[in-house]
Chain A
Amino acid sequence: MFELLGVPPQALFGQLLLGLINGAFYALLSLGLAVIFGMLNVINFTHGAQYMMGAFAAWMLLQYAGLPFWVALVVAPLIIGLTGIIVERLLLSRLYHLDHLYGLLLTFGLALIFEGLFRKQFGSSGLPYQNPLPGGVNLGFMFLPWYRGFIVMFSLVVCLGTWFLIERTKLGAYLRAATENPQLVQAFGINVPRMITLTYGFGVALAGLAGVLAAPIYSVTPVMGANLIIVVFAVVVIGGMGSILGSIVTGFGLGIVEGFTKVFYPEASNTVIFIIMAIVLMIRPAGLFGTQR
């Protein structure tokens, strides 16, 4: 069958795995964006920069404190989430009464600042980060490096965990209620502003987590988030931000599509997601899982 497609199975499955990994990052990042958007009505343009900062946090924890990857996997997202909370309290929270576009502009400015500061400090070339799970297993039809398998599984667990937290727990019920009608929820005695702050912190921590996961396989550079975030925006537009599961499915699905494009028509691999976005917008403007608002 694979010979019929004119591609050796090694290459096909190799790209499929790469696609799954890219998809894992798309899913984690678009999930964070969706969680933030649902609560704050803000598109977090700083998301890419926060992903980059997560990778740098892992690198710095190893370099300056000697903390291994597995510690960084927990600590770095907490640090990045904390910076997010500071940003929300100091800046973002003052813009909620205005047009949502100002939130976008503010977070864009913040992204420039963060990226610029890291570029000033570390230069534009990449910093290496050692693979915490060397080796792999030969599956017969392909070679699966342990760490790459781990990324896919781990991000799946995190995504589904987030889904469970929001859709199946009491805290999540408060959150969904506050998204629908913040005044009413506040009248019931729930501290909505604090929930908003924590939601932003959580979404940003997800970006930081994705950054930590990316550190060992992509080189750690100040610009690693800037281009990725634009693709993630396209993913978000395709999926629509209406549902949590939707953004997970879209993220992984588009990663796989991109992987296959690399096999069959490499010239389009950079643009395929944008093309899909254009098509989806023509047929179903609200996105695959979204509701028009």
Chain B
Amino acid sequence: MKSNDSLMILALAAALAVAPFFIYPVFLMKVLCFALFACAFNLLIGYVGLLSFGHAMFFGFAAYVSGYTVKTWGFPTEIGILAGMLVSAALGLVAGLIAIRRQGIYFAMVTLALAQMVFFFCVQAKFTGGEDGIQSIPRRALFGVIDIRNDFTLYYVVLAIFLAGFLVIYRTIHSPFGQVLKAIRENEPRAISLGYKVDNYKLLAFVLSAALSGLAGATKAIVFQLATLTDVTWQMSGEVVLMTLVGGMGTVLGPFVGAAIIIAMQNYLAQFGEWVLVIQGVIFVTTVMLFRRGVVGEIGAYLAKARGTAKE
């Protein structure tokens, strides 16, 4: 199973390394940013069983922080991204402390409400530029040497960030810490009775997820040289839920596949304008009703079944 996983990840990394020779790199960078965002979200829903409906607050706020520090304070790119990630982690700590006091559906409502609070803060705060957002964020040379004004070069930087985040999540899931998280997902009272301080585990997972969502958002701000209110809205929180659901909650590659599908869909459907919302809703409903395991989950289940019948 595990060697299987690492083979898949290597294949994915190899495919992504050659992808920009065939596909427009800016599109790929968008996919990677959202894929990292979805992977971070999946860490919570897939492995701790916590449905956060407010992850846009980490994604969007980190975008603002990195955009502002790089543009106005003149931070180097890598420090700006790091700043966005750290602020998101801190925000995650505060939001997590409040949200983990409730379970299940309430957790979803609380995170949604907290994210809406961050949204209103971003609307009113001076540094976010209100409706205009932060525009033309400079792409300064990374570590002072790597010129990222070229999309092609930047792509490999984003790919490195994505893979680093992805591996952190992968390691987390397969660590003893990750095992405890899964135990909490399966049966929280039993995990408590076994002596685990469940709240600490949940909080740590929440902060980790928030930090990685922030990393994704901060990177996106550098790639598109833009940080706007769109990234902090509840629609964005819904989008990352949709990506993860479509790809497969609780699967390693699902969030990446889901992000690729949804971003590609948005690109091709842009011409339909108003219909995008309806189509997203229809995908949501169809997935929940018919393919709850998502694309990757259904393929995995099919393969497992095929293998099972082959043995017999």
Q: Which residues of A approach B to under 8 Å, CB–CB?
A: 37, 43, 91, 94-95, 98, 100-102, 104-106, 108-117, 119-120, 226-227, 230-231, 233-234, 236-237, 267, 270-271, 273-275, 277-278, 281-282, 285
Contact = CB atoms under 8 A, between A and B. Distances in A.
Nearest to A106: B288
What does DSSP make chain A's interface, helix, strand, loop or mixed? Answer: helix
A94 B234 CA distance: 27
Main secondary structure of the interface of B (DSSP, over half): helix
Given A104-B105, A105-B245, A112-B278, A277 B110 contact: yes
Contact of B105 (A101, A109, A116, A281): A101
A274 B117 contact: yes
Given A104-B51, A282-B98, A230 B113 contact: yes
Nearest to A267: B124
Interface string B257-301: 000000000000000001111111111110011001000000000
Interface of B: 51, 98-99, 101-102, 104-106, 108-110, 112-114, 116-117, 120-121, 123-124, 234, 238, 241, 245, 274-285, 288-289, 292
Given A104-B108, A237-B110, A120 B292 contact: no
Given A112-B238, A271-B121, A95 B98 contact: no
User: Top 6 nearest A-B pairs by Cβ distance?
Assistant: A109-B284, A112-B281, A116-B277, A113-B281, A116-B278, A274-B117
A270 B120 contact: yes
B284 A112 contact: yes
9 contacts: A43-B105, A98-B292, A106-B284, A112-B281, A114-B281, A234-B116, A271-B121, A274-B117, A274-B120
A119 B278 CA distance: 10
Nearest to A98: B292
A237 B102 CA distance: 9
Nearest to A274: B117
A237 B106 contact: yes
Given A112-B284, A230-B116, A234-B116, 13 more contacts: A95-B288, A101-B108, A106-B285, A109-B283, A109-B285, A112-B281, A115-B281, A231-B113, A234-B113, A236-B109, A277-B110, A278-B117, A285-B101
Given A120-B274, A230-B234, A277-B110, A282 B284 contact: no
